[in-house]
Amino acid sequence: MIMRPNSIEARDAASQMHPMVNFRQYEKSGGLVIESGEGIYVFDNSGKRYIEAMAGLWSVAVGFSEPRLKEAACAQMDKLPYYHTFSYKTHGPSIELAEKLLELAPVPMSKVHFTSSGSEANDLTCKMVWYRSNALGKPDKKKIIGREKGYHGVTIAAGSITGLPLNHGSFDLPLDRMKHTSCPSYVHFGRPGETEAEFTRRMLQDLEDLIEREGPETIAAFWGEPVMGAGGVLIPPAGYWEGVQKILRKHDILLVADEVICGFGRTGKMFGCQSLGIEPDALVVSKQISSSYMPISAILVNDRFYQPIADESARIGSFGHGFTASGHPVAAAVALENIRIIEERDLVGNAAALSGQFKAGLEKLAEHPLVHSSRSLGLIGALEIHPWPDLPASTAAKAVAAMVEEEGVICRSVGEALCFCPPLIITGDQLDDLFAAVGRALDRLAAERPAAG
Ligand code: PMP
């Protein structure tokens, strides 16, 4: 794209530092200006329409023009636009939302604490894990195990639990207390000749070995997304989560499930934990909780997690943590209405009902010579792109994503993968349109670059 002087693109490039870009490249190219949204579509400032096949950032479950969320925000703005939840004050929307989350929780949970982003929620959960260990008189039980390619956000603790080099390098992360075990993606890390069952056993052995090396008594918690999202939609093999939970129980290690992407229907059940048989001690949600119309996140904790923390707060006199926007009433009201819509329209059922068509569509595209394989669960999936003779697969995947965008679909390349995570309101016909556009893009690329594949 060539930026005209004083265009909105040029003003943007001159004024902002955007997340996840190469700043030097951005200064030259600028970004795509999105102006409006309608259902599963967004429109850029030239009027071009795109299927938003990533639901924004894995998050806009109800689509980009839901009037009930606007009305819920306005009604709450009229009544009480802001109040906090500090120091023995509270308000209706936060109470109702906490009760709703406890009702929906996949396993019995005791309490909810609100934050505004996935990173904040994971960061605080980590601090609460440390607080809890101190409360239990175990000051050495502080290490956290995350996974390579796991993503839990970018603040200092959450970014340290994240297992992606891009979020560590030059930021002086991870913190020493954060350790990372192997990524359970058979497609990427299975060895030649290794069966999936053997691979799963090796992943579990790696975890056992790490715990033994570090000392089980020093490890407080294990963090995991049911399905890894930002690492490239990595779905663990059968038996993985069951095995992980056995190991954690044996060593008295808490399990934190990061449901920031999987929560509220993405995997075809209300929570990814239900799709994968996970029984966590703490559960972190954000994104689809409000379809990202307002920034809000929440941490749900069980009694085993909560009680020692409550004791410690009583001993010290107060729980020394909180944000000005914790449990923001407008964000909470929007989240409640969003969850009502998800339930009333059975969007979780829609994700489950369309999951077969979604899988079949990706599998068909995987027959294309530029594509290596596909994977999906519910309405989250990816195509693995082949390297080209002159390009590594990750660069090829970027080129495919750019061509797919030309064809009117926004998806996202992560490493060698092209990720798809459409709004949960998508219909079968719209899924067909999405995959037809991806097919056209692959054909155009194959024609333009006969050497590819
Ligand atoms: N956890 C997971 C699983 C995520 O996918 C993300 C964001 N993609 C986060 C945490 C961080 O959320 P946020 O960007 O709201 O800080």
Closest Cα to residue 225, out of 290, 279, 152, 175? 152
Question: What is the ipTM metric for this complex?
Answer: 0.99
* Confidence at 453, pLDDT banded by 50, 70, 90: very low
Instruction: Read off the DSSP letter of residue 217.
Output: G
**Ligand 1 atom 1 nearest Cα:** 152
Fold designation for 69-344: Aspartate Aminotransferase; domain 2 (3.40.640)
Which residue from 124, 161, 233, 260 has its CB within 8 A of the most atoms of ligand 1, so it is best to mutate? 260
Q: Are 219 and 248 in contact (CB under 8 A)?
A: no
Give the Å distances, CA to CA, from 189 to 201, 416, 438: 13, 13, 27
* Confidence at 321, pLDDT banded by 50, 70, 90: very high
* Confidence at 2, pLDDT banded by 50, 70, 90: confident
Q: Give start-end residues of each CATH 3.90.1150.10 domain in the chain.
A: 32-62+346-448
Q: How many angstroms does the Cα of residue 232 sit away from the middle of ligand 1? A: 13
Read off the pLDDT of residues 353-403 as tens digits, 9 standing for 90 and up.
Answer: 999 999 999 999 999 999 999 999 999 999 999 888 888 888 899 999 999
Which residue from 149, 152, 380 has its CB within 8 A of the most atoms of ligand 1, so it is best to mutate? 152
Q: How many angstroms does the Cα of residue 259 sit away from the middle of ligand 1? A: 9
Q: What's the pLDDT score for residue 449?
A: 73
Length of the chain as a residue count: 453
For residue 452, pLDDT beyond 60: no
32-62+346-448, which class in CATH? alpha beta
**Ligand 1 atom 12 nearest Cα:** 118
Of all helices (H) and strands (E), which one includes residue 330? helix 329-344
Which residue from 151, 183, 228 has its CB within 8 A of the most atoms of ligand 1, so it is best to mutate? 151
Read off the pLDDT of residues 228-276 as tens digits, 9 standing for 90 and up.
Answer: 999 999 999 999 999 999 999 999 999 999 999 999 999 999 999 999 9
**Ligand 1 atom 3 nearest Cα:** 260
SS3 state at 344:
helix
Which residue from 183, 235, 256, 261 has its CB within 8 A of the most atoms of ligand 1, so it is best to mutate? 261
Q: How many angstroms does the Cα of residue 159 sit away from the middle of ligand 1? A: 10
- Predicted TM-score (pTM) of the model is 0.97
* Pocket-forming residues, ligand 1, beta carbon under 6 Å: 57, 117-119, 122, 151-153, 225, 229-230, 258, 260-261, 286
Q: How many angstroms does the Cα of residue 291 sit away from the middle of ligand 1? A: 13
Q: Distance between CA 162 and CA 114 in Å, rounded?
A: 21
Tokens for 176, please give them.
């020493």
Closest Cα to residue 118, out of 291, 322, 284, 325? 284
Q: Give start-end residues of each CATH 3.40.640.10 domain in the chain.
A: 69-344
Q: What's the pLDDT score for residue 450?
A: 58
